[in-house]
Chains A and B, each alone.
Chain A
Amino acid sequence: MKRHARRLAPLLLAIGLLAIGWGGTAQAQDLVSGISQDVVQITSNYTGTDIVVFGAIERELNTQNRDIVVVVRGPDEPMTVRRRDRVAGVWVNRDAARFEGLPAYYYLAATKPVAQIASREALARYGLGLQALQPSAIGSHHDPEPFRQAAIRYHRRVGLYTENPGSIDFLSETLFRTRVPVPAGVTRGQYNVEVYLFRDGQVVSVQSTPLFVDATGLERRLFNMAHDAPLSYGLACVFMAMLLGWISAVLFRRPD
């Protein structure tokens, strides 16, 4: 708890400043938001972290039909989904569908389930909710829908796609925050944090902030080396294996 409080202190300060600053320009903006850190660095002992998305909205009399949706989207990644069928008693990959435009990571937090916030068309337009993820299918000669569902199911299972309604905390009438997990299996690249303010099912304001996820230090150098200088990388691997084998043979040498 103490650790939490320490981490949150600068955040609350930021929210406070934000609220004050926002007070002056109330007419111009009815939504201001920010994130606790704009770079997530993957180090050798990275097991996942949380970022906090926070913001302030205009004070108003009717808060009944006012909703907030926070979406964190990873970089798009081409994916291939394959279906296994039983052939002669053995499960073999048969049909496949290739998708372009599915994000590598998708996290949605909202004040209530998105289906209750806005119409299906509105959600589809902004890509809100897992059912609104409509990638283009390439090179499939059959109905891509079950394959799309399978891709979403897979990502949900490994924790890369999450829809989390009711997870936005209001600190006061106007200040809100939510915690977004960045698990260990995330792809490197540019992420986008989007905050939507809905009123009566209509988007009235949107704020978008980039978030960078990157490997640092040794991990990054090794990854780059494996792709940019694969020959020396492979030779280094072989050399290391031979050296360790040789050392062990010398260390454990028996008097014969």
Chain B
Amino acid sequence: MEIYLPVAEMSVNWLIIIALGTGVGFLSGMFGVGGGFLMTPLLVFTGIPSTVAVATTLSHVTASSMSGALTQWRKRAIDFTMAAIMLVGGVAGTLFGVWLFALMRRQGQMDLIVALSYVVMLGGIGFIMLRESLATLKAYRSGVTISSRPVNRGWIQALPFKMRFRQSRLYISVIPPIGIGFVVGMLSAIMGIGGGFIIVPAMIYLLRMPTRVVMGTSLVQIIAVTAITTVLQATSNYAVDIVLAGLLVSGGVVGAQLGVRAGARLRGEQLRFLLAVLVLVVGAGLAWQLVARPADVYSLSEGAP
């Protein structure tokens, strides 16, 4: 059951890896997220070097996003103009992120940066989602419907370089989409995530895009960013393991489809509540690893510092 990973240079049990891919794929299909934020820590936990885990998880995200994007495309629910504009920032962010990744790796701070970014992102997002879903659940129970569409666009409206986005029925500045794209591209390179759990809230609350096109557009953006990051990681850090990617993707695409069916049975706020709990648990686990005394305070890496 062992298979040798040529780039990670180690043997793993391929059944465990496929099971991981399926499990994370199931959750990602159920919650409508890429699942990178779960996959990277889990891979590191099985002993795969964090550089390989970050770079290889991206392929898993590309595949599950591809699957979802095709469904959205059939419904004509994708704003390609918006995706293209965000991608301008995305490419710049990815380049910056891969450069930062290589720099951190030389400094020996890669693991710390990955873990810290995860704790901050997961803690923050998890907390916001938990609060929002609990409020909605409570409101649902007391029979009140609350509008989650704030009125005021404030500073976003005041920015220059405005452009018309036909599918989204928006006329806004290109600066916020480019900025969001940049941040997500950077995080994708450093953390091995697609960034769906940042793009989707940003599109809804910052850009005020109609919910109908948010899912499809964010998936297109994620496919592009993860594809570019995979190629950059392969060329500049040699950290992508194609055998590991193949195993993860095979499990992932099946799991994602099953997850979509399971998710259809639950209500939105219930899903968000479960996802928030999951996100917080992963974040707390990583935080614990940062503060707990390590078994050996010395660690070893091959090659030059």
Q: Could you tell me which A residues sit within 8 Å of B by CB distance?
A: 42-47, 77-85, 89-93, 96, 98, 139, 146-147, 150-151, 153-155, 184-185, 187, 215, 218-220, 222-223, 226-227, 230-231, 233-238, 240-242, 244-252, 256
Known: A153-B296, A241-B227. 18 other contacts (CB 8 A): A81-B299, A82-B301, A91-B297, A98-B305, A147-B298, A150-B296, A154-B296, A187-B9, A215-B6, A218-B6, A223-B7, A235-B231, A237-B234, A238-B230, A241-B62, A241-B230, A244-B250, A249-B67
Contact B4 A238 (CB under 8 A): no
Does B256 reach chain A (CB closer than 8 Å)?
Answer: yes
- Distance, CA A251 to CA B250, complexed state (A): 13
Checking B4, B7, B242, B299 against A236 with a beta-carbon cut-off of 8 angstroms, the contacting residue is B242
- For B253, the closest partner residue in chain A by CB is A248
The yes or no answer to B245 lying at the interface (CB within 8 A) is yes
CB-based A-B contact count at 8 angstroms:
190
Residues of A contacting B265 in the complex (Cβ-Cβ under 8 angstroms): none
A156–B302 alpha-carbon span in the complex (Å): 15
- A245:B62 contact, CB within 8 angstroms: yes
Q: Which residue of B lies closest to A157 (CB)?
A: B296
Q: How far is the CA of A51 from the CA of B276 in the complex (A)?
A: 52
* Docked-complex contact B242 and A237, CB < 8 angstroms: yes
Cβ of B62 to closest chain A Cβ, rounded Å:
4
- Whether the Cβ atoms of A80 and B59 lie closer than 8 Å is no
Chain B residue nearest to A89 (CB atoms) is: B291
Contact flags (1/0) for B221-243 with A, using CB distance below 8 Å? 00100010011111100101111
Contact at A219–B62, with CB atoms within 8 Å?
no
CB distance from B252 to the nearest CB of A (A): 8
From 258 to 297 in chain B, residues with beta carbon under 8 angstroms from any chain A beta carbon are 290-294, 296-297
Bound Cα distance A181, B35 (Å): 39
Q: How far is the CB of A216 from chain B (nearest CB, A)?
A: 10
A219 with B290: CB separation less than 8 A: no
A227 to B231, CA, bound (A): 13
B residues less than 8 Å from A230 (CB atoms): 234-235, 238
* 8 closest cross-chain pairs (CB), A and B: A245-B66, A234-B234, A150-B298, A248-B253, A234-B231, A245-B63, A252-B257, A241-B62
Instruction: Provide the residues of chain A in CB contact with B15, threshold 8 Å.
Output: none
Contacts of A187 in B (CB 8 A): 9
A43: chain B residues within 8 A (beta carbon): 4
User: What is the CA–CA distance of A249 and B74 in the complex, to the nearest angstrom?
Assistant: 11
A223 CB to nearest B CB, Å: 4
B32-46 interface (Cβ within 8 A of A): none
Bound together, the chains give a CA A222 to CA B9 distance in angstroms of: 11
Contact status of A247 and B291, CB under 8 A, knowing A79-B302, A215-B6? no
Instruction: Report the separation of the CA atoms of residues A90 and B115 in the bound assembly, to the nearest whole angstrom.
Output: 11
Judge whether B66 and A154 touch: CB under 8 Å.
no
Bound-complex Cα distance A226 to B6 (A): 9
Given contacts A98-B305, A234-B231, A238-B62, contact A83 B298 (CB under 8 A): yes
Partner among A185, A222, A242 whose Cβ is within 8 Å of the Cβ of B63: A242
The residues of B that contact A234 with a CB separation of less than 8 Å are: 230-235, 240
Tell me, in angstroms, the Cα distance from A96 to B298 when the chains sit together: 9
Q: How many angstroms from the CA of A234 to the CA of B230 in the assembled complex? A: 6
User: Do A78 and B302 form a contact, CB below 8 Å, given A84-B294, A226-B238, A240-B242?
Assistant: yes
Q: Which residues of B contact A83 (CB under 8 A)?
A: 297-298
B150 contacts the other chain (CB 8 A): no
* Residues in chain B near residue A219, CB distance under 8 A: 4, 6
Contact call A227/B108, Cβ cutoff below 8 A: no
Residues of the B chain whose Cβ atoms lie less than 8 Å from the Cβ of A218: 6
**A82 CA to B105 CA, complexed, in Å:** 12
- CB neighbours of A45 from chain B (8 A): 2-4
CB of B188 within 8 Å of the partner chain: no
Question: A153: which B residues are within 8 A, CB to CB?
Answer: 296, 298
CB < 8 Å: which of B112, B227, B233, B293 contacts A92? B112
CA distance A218 to B68 in the complex (A): 32
By beta carbon, the residue of chain A nearest B227 is: A238
Taking a contact as CB atoms under 8 Å apart, the answer to whether A46 and B4 are in contact is: yes
- Complex Cα distance, B109 from A93, in Å, reads 7
Q: Is the CB of A184 within 8 A of B10?
A: yes
A231 to B232: give the CA distance in the assembly, Å. 8
Question: Which of B109, B111, B249, B301 is in CB contact (< 8 Å) with A79?
Answer: B301
Contact B294 A91 (CB under 8 A): yes
Max chain A Cβ within 10 angstroms of own Cβ: one of B223, B238, B241, B300:
B300
Q: Nearest Cβ distance between residue B148 and chain A, in whole angstroms?
A: 27
Report B-chain residues with C-beta under 8 Å of the C-beta of A93: 108-109, 111-112, 299
Are B70 and A246 in contact, CB atoms less than 8 angstroms apart? yes
- Does B168 lie at the interface of the complex (its beta carbon under 8 Å from any beta carbon of A)? no
